Chains A and B, each alone.
Chain A
């Protein structure tokens, strides 16, 4: 896990989503996950489709495929734009 680094940015292009339980709140087209030197994770993503109601519910979870599994982060807050979103994330879950 990238906890070894002070700051890091991960990028992806498909199959990432924000979920509210089994419901999909947003399907992301491209995404970038960055960790600041203060340890704060931020997601910036282009949106393929999004459900504004579900994006306001809790708990939300960000998942994205990685080799051998998935990135999985709790979502603390989401700002929804027209074609993109920015989310503040908690620490990775697994």
Chain B
């Protein structure tokens, strides 16, 4: 398995026949961008209110969502500001559905990757040499906007 992330798209069905096209996996650039999107205005700390938008915007490639006139609101290859504006105009319940679909996808991908890691031949589990920052300071999981 390559350690580089191939830009593979995954289609996630949501309610009413709509679907999302999302990244199968994030690469380092994506993950860094996601963290940057979560930072407060000063750039000094993560703002939990930005978690949901950051997660969705980082994973989302395109979707089937339409505007009131029935036209597809294409976001593929649009600048981040355009995608952010589209997200801001969603119904909050629909945004939550999209976020939950993406989080479930991420959890599936993480589980699949862990499974592959554990079955990789010759792999060994290294002993911990110091407590992780998450263990010391608490993780971010569970916070949403």
The residues of A with any CB-CB pair to B shorter than 8 Å are 17, 19-24, 53, 57
Contact = CB atoms under 8 A, between A and B. Distances in A.
Interface of B: 4, 6-9, 23, 61, 76-77
Nearest to B9: A22
B30 to A, nearest CB: 9
Contacts of B6: 21, 57
A73 B102 CA distance: 31
Main secondary structure of the interface of A (DSSP, over half): strand
Given A20-B7, A22-B23, 11 more contacts: A17-B77, A19-B77, A21-B7, A21-B9, A22-B7, A22-B9, A22-B61, A23-B7, A24-B77, A53-B4, A57-B6
A21 B8 CA distance: 7
The 4 closest A-B pairs by CB, nearest first: A21-B7, A23-B7, A22-B61, A22-B7
Nearest to A57: B6
